[in-house]
Structure formats: C-alpha cells, structure tokens
C-alpha cells in the first residue's frame, strides 16, 4: 500500500532521536539541570550578531518579492559570485559563480551529489566512524555504501583497508573533516595519500572516482590544525559546505556545492547536479538566507566555546580513565566505551543521566559519541558522574 522502505525510514526512530526523547522524559521527572544530554549536534553558540543584522538590513532595504521570491535553481547569481570570490581569497582557488550550486544545507548538498553521480551498481565509500545518514542518503539513490574500518589510534585513514574497498564500481569517496563523530581533522598527509591512491585507481579502472568532501565543520578547527582544501589536492572533488554549524543556523537550511572547472566533464557533472536537485524537489535554496550569507561571506565563526568545552571534557574523561583521541575540531569526542558492547555501556551511563550515543551507530563499535555543543557549566557538573561511571568498571 505504501513504499515499505519509506515507511521504515519514517517510523523507525534513530538511536539519537530515542536518546533525546528519553532525555526530555527524564528532564520532566528530575529537572532539566540534572540531565546531561550529550546526544545532539545542535550548536549552542548564539548565531552571530552580524547575521541578525544582515537579516534586519535585508528586510528593511529590499522589496519583499526580491527577498522571498523563487531564485533560479542554482541560486542567486550575484550571491554565488560573492561566495566564489570569498572562497578564492581564502584558499587561492579560481572559482566563479558558475562553480557553485546553493543548497538547503549539507544534507541536501550531499544527497544531490549522490543522486547526480549514482548509476546502477555504483558504490560510495565512507570511512568509519561516519555520519549515519550517509547510508540512507546513498541507498535512497540506489547506491551501495561501502565502509572502510576505522583507524582508532588517530581516526585518520587506514590506507591498506581503504585500498581493499576500492573496486571498478567505486563512484565516490566521502570525506568528512573535521569529523562527526571522531572530532579528527584529516592532515595534509592524509589528503595527499588519499588523492594519490585515487589517481592510481582512476587510471587503472579508466573512469573518474570522485571525492565528496562533506564540510559542515570546516570552520570549527582548533589551534594547530588546518583543514586542507580538498580541490587543491584532487581535481575530481565536490565540496559540500554548510552554514549550519559555523554560523549556528541549522534550522535555516543553507549551504552549497562547489563544482570545480577541473572536475572530469564539468558540464555533465553540474548539469546532473541541477537535474538531481530538480527531481529531489529542491527548487532553490531558501532565498532570504542566500542573501544573508552573501552579506556575511568570509566573516569568522566564534569557536571559543567549543575549544573550551572540548578541552574540559577531554581532560575530565582522561582523568576518569577513559581512552580518547584529543579533539581537533567539530564538537564531538569519540572515546572508547568501558566494555566492548557500546550499547550496554551507554545504557549503564543512563543511571547517572549521562546520555551518550553508541559508536556502533557510526559504524565503529566499542566507542561512544559525546556532543559537547552544550553549556560549559553542564559539562563541569557531568565530570564527577563520568568518574563514578568509570569507577563501576574499575571494581
């Protein structure tokens, strides 16, 4: 009667959603302040004042129809020129407006990219741990998600394992740095290594293999860590960018895809992106927010809260006896669980109202994710509870 797969996707709650709802229920029972909800990646840093000002200026200065009307499908041409110029200033690239396609955030950007590239039998590679939505996005366009096992020492890429996953059916490789959930930033060495292997395989298989660089956390990189701009290392790259995290605008849905001129058959790829956006009924990215980001292009993100929270939580967890890779960016930690079954571990943590997400959900068992985009004071009060939880396992 209905599409069973869609029914399943729409009704089967994700673990994160279930934990979040449990948290709401507990908050009603024991009080908001006694629940330590580390489950959601919803930025807690206020949206910058310059964004608010841009909204007010636009609403005050422009005709309503020019603000709220449809734009052409790839987005307002002037906005795309401004954004291209801003990217060029930062990364020394040579993009123009025609290289950008504005989208409703990164989720739309990556789904449109998957749909644009996917032919029957195609495989898309993700590195564990990875953003769980990749699986349903890839499968929704008829592709197969192939997962490269994690390199838990540093969450860079295990190249030997990666090479084993490449086949003539590989269409694209998804890169997400700074990473959700590991908090790792891929080094220049990692990106160079990845590019070299892919160039070799493109030659061997006789067709392009794309990198889809999913970059909603690009601006959230901590001191000492630089996020390499992937198109500078590998021509066949699509960059999927979003303002959800950098400007704390996740509900407004605004981002873009960059399609470099150097990509194999620019005209075909850009055309397929436009076609994919069309059938996914994307229509155009939100018009007001296109105008807003053009006025805010190049403005810095305030990441000081995430720096402070990341350091505090990392040190607290290590002091309590957890093993964890140091945070390099984004706003997540991905420590080892204190028993191999990460679901059992996260269940046990609920006893202290610590709401954590099992690593298995991200394709990496024996770990758990802690989202630290919450109040610093909440993290401070959670640390004795993590200590108590760890002490249970020390007995």
Q: How far is the CB of 253 from ligand PLP (least distance, A)?
A: 7
The β-bridge partners of 329 are 221
Please give the residue ranges that form the binding site for ligand PLP (CB under 6 A). Answer: 41, 105-107, 131, 176, 180, 214, 216, 242, 244, 250, 255
Q: How far is the CB of 128 from ligand PLP (least distance, A)?
A: 13
CA gap 224, 177 in Å, rounded: 15
Q: How far is the CB of 216 from ligand PLP (least distance, A)?
A: 5
The first and second tokens of residue 317, run together, are: 């967890």
Cβ proximity of 132 and 300 under 8 Å:
no
Q: How far is the CB of 80 from ligand PLP (least distance, A)?
A: 18
What are residue 256's phi and psi, to 5 degrees? Answer: -160, 165
CA gap 103, 164 in Å, rounded: 33
242 or 305: whose CB is closer to ligand PLP?
242
338 or 370: whose CB is closer to ligand PLP?
370
242 or 389: whose CB is closer to ligand PLP?
242
Task: Map tokens 């960018």 to a residue.
Answer: 241
Q: How far is the CB of 268 from ligand PLP (least distance, A)?
A: 25
180 or 237: whose CB is closer to ligand PLP?
180
Q: How far is the CB of 254 from ligand PLP (least distance, A)?
A: 8
Q: Of all helices (H) and strands (E), which one includes residue 105?
A: helix 105-117
76 or 176: whose CB is closer to ligand PLP?
176
Q: How far is the CB of 158 from ligand PLP (least distance, A)?
A: 19
107 or 370: whose CB is closer to ligand PLP?
107
103 or 360: whose CB is closer to ligand PLP?
103
CA gap 376, 257 in Å, rounded: 34
244 or 290: whose CB is closer to ligand PLP?
244
Task: Map tokens 């025609």 to a residue.
Answer: 98
How does 85-122 read in b/e, with b if 16+ C-beta sit within 10 Å?
Answer: ebbeeeeebebebebbbbbbbbbbbbbbbbbbbbeeeb
179 or 202: whose CB is closer to ligand PLP?
179
Q: How far is the CB of 32 from ligand PLP (least distance, A)?
A: 23
Chain centroid to Cα 243, Å, comes to 11
The first and second tokens of residue 227, run together, are: 């996020």
Cβ proximity of 273 and 103 under 8 Å:
no
CA gap 324, 177 in Å, rounded: 18
Cα dihedral angle (352, 349, 17, 125), rounded to 10 degrees? 150
SS3 118: coil
Q: How far is the CB of 395 from ligand PLP (least distance, A)?
A: 36
Verify cis geometry, omega within 30 degrees of 0, for the bond prior to 129: yes
């Amino acid at each position: 009667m209905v599409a069973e797969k869609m029914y399943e996707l729409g009704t089967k709650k994700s673990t994160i959603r279930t934990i979040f709802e449990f948290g709401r229920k507990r908050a009603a029972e024991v009080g908001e302040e006694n629940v330590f909800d580390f489950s959601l990646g919803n930025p807690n840093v206020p949206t910058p004042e310059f964004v608010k000002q841009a909204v007010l200026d636009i609403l005050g200065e422009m005709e309503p129809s020019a603000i709220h009307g449809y734009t052409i499908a790839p987005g307002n041409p002037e906005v795309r020129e401004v954004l291209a110029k801003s990217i060029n200033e930062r990364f020394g690239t040579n993009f123009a407006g025609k290289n950008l396609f504005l989208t409703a955030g990164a989720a739309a950007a990556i789904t449109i990219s998957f749909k644009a590239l996917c032919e029957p039998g195609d495989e898309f590679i993700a590195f564990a741990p990875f953003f769980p939505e990749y699986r349903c996005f890839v499968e929704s366009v008829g592709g197969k998600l192939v997962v490269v096992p994690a390199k838990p020492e540093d969450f860079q890429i295990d190249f030997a394992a990666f090479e084993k996953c490449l086949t003539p059916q590989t269409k694209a490789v998804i890169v997400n740095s700074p990473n959700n959930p590991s908090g790792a930033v891929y080094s220049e060495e990692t990106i160079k290594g990845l590019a070299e292997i892919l160039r070799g395989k493109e030659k061997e298989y006789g067709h392009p293999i794309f990198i889809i660089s999913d970059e909603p956390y690009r601006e959230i990189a901590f001191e000492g860590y630089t996020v390499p701009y992937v198109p500078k290392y590998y021509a066949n790259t699509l960059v999927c960018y979003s303002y959800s995290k950098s400007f704390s605008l996740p509900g407004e849905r605004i981002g873009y895809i960059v399609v470099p001129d150097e990509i194999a058959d620019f005209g075909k790829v850009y055309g397929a992106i436009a076609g994919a956006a069309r059938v996914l009924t994307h229509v155009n990215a939100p018009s007001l927010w296109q105008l807003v980001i053009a006025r805010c292009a190049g403005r810095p993100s305030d990441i000081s809260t995430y720096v402070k929270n990341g350091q505090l939580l990392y040190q607290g967890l290590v002091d309590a006896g957890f093993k964890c890779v140091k945070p390099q960016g984004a706003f997540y930690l991905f420590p080892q669980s204190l028993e191999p079954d990460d679901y059992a571990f996260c269940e046990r943590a609920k006893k202290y109202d610590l709401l954590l997400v099992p690593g298995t959900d991200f394709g990496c068992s024996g770990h758990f994710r802690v989202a630290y985009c919450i109040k610093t004071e909440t993290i401070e009060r959670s640390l004795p509870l993590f200590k108590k939880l760890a002490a249970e396992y020390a007995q």
